Amino acid sequence: MSFFVRPSKWKQWWPTSKGKTWFLWFLFLLLVSTCIMFAAASQSLRKPKKQKIPTTVNSSMAELSLSAEVVAIDPAARTITVDWHPMTSAARLNCTELLQNPTVREVYIHNYILDHTSPTWRQEPPYPPVFVFNSSEVCPFSLWPPYTSFRTVTKLFSGTSLRKVNEAFLKSSRMAYPADSYSAPFEFYVVDPRSQKMSAPTVFNVTEIMLGYELSPTSVRLAPGPAPGDTRLSFVLDISRSRAVKLFVYSTVVTSWLVTISFLAMLAGAAVYNEHRIYAEMFVVPIGALFAFTSIRANLPGAPVGFGTVLDTFSIVPVLIIMSLSSFLLLMAVFYKRVRQIEEKDTTVTVGAAGH
């Protein structure tokens, strides 16, 4: 018994001409779908993006260094929640010396930047620090620094509010979804409670774990303090939608218009041709797509609730109106042609009976 197929019998295992065409089209569509999947998922599969806040302060000379982790971004509430992990330089972290002479530093952030939901927010002075670093609480070294952190809830502004002050609150950036952008300002300073000396910390890492957003630090500067020699660290985080979110939203818009155009072609065909039979695909697919697009709009990642964005104006709203009117006209056209055909049939029968 041979384990090989004879060349003369290969044709039995190879499809016909139509089968070959179908197989090639299937492979082509499978390849295109795979490319689309990897293009959409590439942003989600990458490691969390890390940013560094460049300053003129040497991190080894700074009293405190901060590592930031963005936890939540809420454009509706206009807030950004960040976990900060304070650290000191390795040269300063000598537990034996610090236990004998503890180092205490207070970390402050400008009160106007804090949201009222932040744990340390206060309406009137004196404003409390957002964190108090005490060296006697972080030694021994084995317990430091992973378990030391503090959280801030700060305000989120429109992407143009920090650049065009006169137009800051005349329009909402959420209307431009998914092209909306926001700015999160920060201003930190470290105070020695004994000498009241103010110094600027360093931010050596900003980790972005929020899916659907991209962060980029801008406007980094060292602002002067109230006393000579005092400094404060000021920077802004620019926030925008990720490319994966934009790809999904824009592909949804294109798909909705393609389905609408195909529905209009069916309506034009029903108005021209005399066929009166109703096929399932004439209504099931378009009307099902109509409800599907409504559900997709309500679940777009980070989309504002309700209608009113630029995306709705040029895609969802006209698509829903056109498809609803097309469904009505298509039903009436089929109904009119059916009634007309029945009348013509009755007229033919009457004329035939009169002739006999």
Nearest to 158 by CA among 170, 143, 147: 170
- At 221 the pLDDT is 85
Average pLDDT in the 56-80 region? 78
Work out the pLDDT band at 188, boundaries 50, 70, 90.
very high
Work out the pLDDT band at 174, boundaries 50, 70, 90.
confident
Choose the weakest-confidence range: 226-230, 233-237, 328-332, 341-345.
341-345
Q: Please state the separation of Cα 237 from the chain's center in Å.
A: 16
Work out the pLDDT band at 170, boundaries 50, 70, 90.
very low
**79-87 β-sheet, strand order:** 49-51, 202-208, 65-74, 79-87, 150-155
> Token digits for 213?
């957003």
Nearest to 107 by CA among 120, 125, 94: 120
For residues 233 and 146, the model is more confident at 233
Mean pLDDT of the chain: 75
DSSP H helices in 182-316: 243-272, 280-298, 310-311
- At 169 the pLDDT is 47
CA–CA distances in Å: residue 36 to residues 32, 47, 285: 6, 20, 24
Give percent of the chain with pLDDT exceeding 90: 7
DSSP H helices in 194-279: 243-272
- At 217 the pLDDT is 85
Amino acid 62 reads A
CA angle 79, 81, 83 (to 5 degrees): 160
Residue 153 has pLDDT above 90, yes or no: yes
- At 205 the pLDDT is 81
- At 80 the pLDDT is 92
Whether 207 contacts 213, CB under 8 Å? no
For residues 348 and 58, the model is more confident at 348
Give percent of the chain with pLDDT exceeding 70: 68
Average pLDDT in the 300-317 region? 78
Q: What is the C-alpha to C-alpha distance for residues 117 and 322, in angstroms, rounded to an integer?
A: 44
For residues 21 and 164, the model is more confident at 21
Q: Is the peptide bond before 15 cis (omega within 30 degrees of 0)?
A: no
70, containing H or E segment: strand 65-74
SS3 content of the chain, % helix, strand, coil (to 5): 40, 25, 35
Domain boundaries, the chain: 16-45, 49-240, 246-355
pLDDT in tens, 75-133: 888 999 999 988 876 545 566 776 677 778 899 998 889 998 888 888 888 889 999 88
Residues 6+ apart with CB under 8 A from 336: none
Average pLDDT in the 170-192 region? 82
Integer-rounded Cα Rg, in Å, for the chain is 33
- At 4 the pLDDT is 47
Average pLDDT in the 289-311 region? 77
Residue 55 has pLDDT above 70, yes or no: no
Residue 178 has pLDDT above 70, yes or no: yes
Work out the pLDDT band at 1, boundaries 50, 70, 90.
very low
Q: Pick the most confident of 88-92, 98-102, 160-164, 278-282.
A: 98-102
Residue 249 has pLDDT above 70, yes or no: yes
Nearest to 257 by CA among 332, 328, 330, 311: 311
Local structure of 61: helix, strand or coil: coil
- At 149 the pLDDT is 86
Q: Pick the most confident of 40-49, 74-83, 346-355.
A: 74-83
Work out the pLDDT band at 6, boundaries 50, 70, 90.
low
- At 333 the pLDDT is 73
Residue 159 has pLDDT above 80, yes or no: no
